[in-house]
Amino acid sequence: MSQATPSPQPPPPGPGHSHHDDSRSAWAAGGTVFAGILLVVAGVMAVLEGIVGIAKDSVYVVTRGDYVYKFDVTAWGWIHLVLGVIAVIVGVCLLQGATWARFAGIAIAALALLANFMFLPYQPAWSLIMIGIYVFVIWSLATYHPRRGWQSGSAR
């Protein structure tokens, strides 16, 4: 007679770790991949936005003439072009699993977020969309810790 051996049970969660933490960690890990993809896509869009600003000054129109952060449209084009190229490079490295890319991704997303905030008078709707994308990128890269398996913001 053969006896069926019971399948091994997973060990119970350790102190301060629960299955709920695992599901949040999986969400953040998936969010990190999505953040890498968003960083690449947003970088490509920033490059295109920069090229338009450099090539055709007449495409962007200032909605308010008394804005504090008033730069020439060509200058904004160069700013977006440089930030976009860096974002694409960091996003690709993030997707390849480079550890440093998480921190660089947070930094470039923060700089691009600030640039889009200052670019609001030129393209208000587009700037708000890009700000939302960069906020998600920063959140995702700041909360996922693959070695710990939990989010830094989770309650203990």
Give residue-wise pLDDT tens across range 75-106. Answer: 888 999 999 999 999 999 999 988 899 999 99
* Res 150: pLDDT: 40
CA distance 73 to 58: 9
* Res 74: pLDDT: 84
Rounded to two decimals, the pTM is 0.71
* Res 7: pLDDT: 55
Nearest to 151 by CA among 16, 17, 24: 24
* Res 58: pLDDT: 59
The mean pLDDT value of the chain amounts to: 78
* Res 112: pLDDT: 95
DSSP letter string over 77-118? Answer: HHHHHHHHHHHHHHHHHHHTT-HHHHHHHHHHHHHHHHHHHH
Q: Is the dihedral of CA 104, 90, 130, 114 positive or negative?
A: positive
* Res 46: pLDDT: 93
Mind listing the pLDDT tens digit for each residue in 37-79? Answer: 999 999 999 999 899 888 876 556 555 566 666 777 788 889 9
30 compared with 148, residue with greater pLDDT:
30
Alpha-carbon distance values, 152 to 18, 25, 30, 34 (Å): 14, 10, 16, 19
* Res 75: pLDDT: 86
CA distance 105 to 16: 29
Q: Find the mean pLDDT for residues 30-36.
A: 81
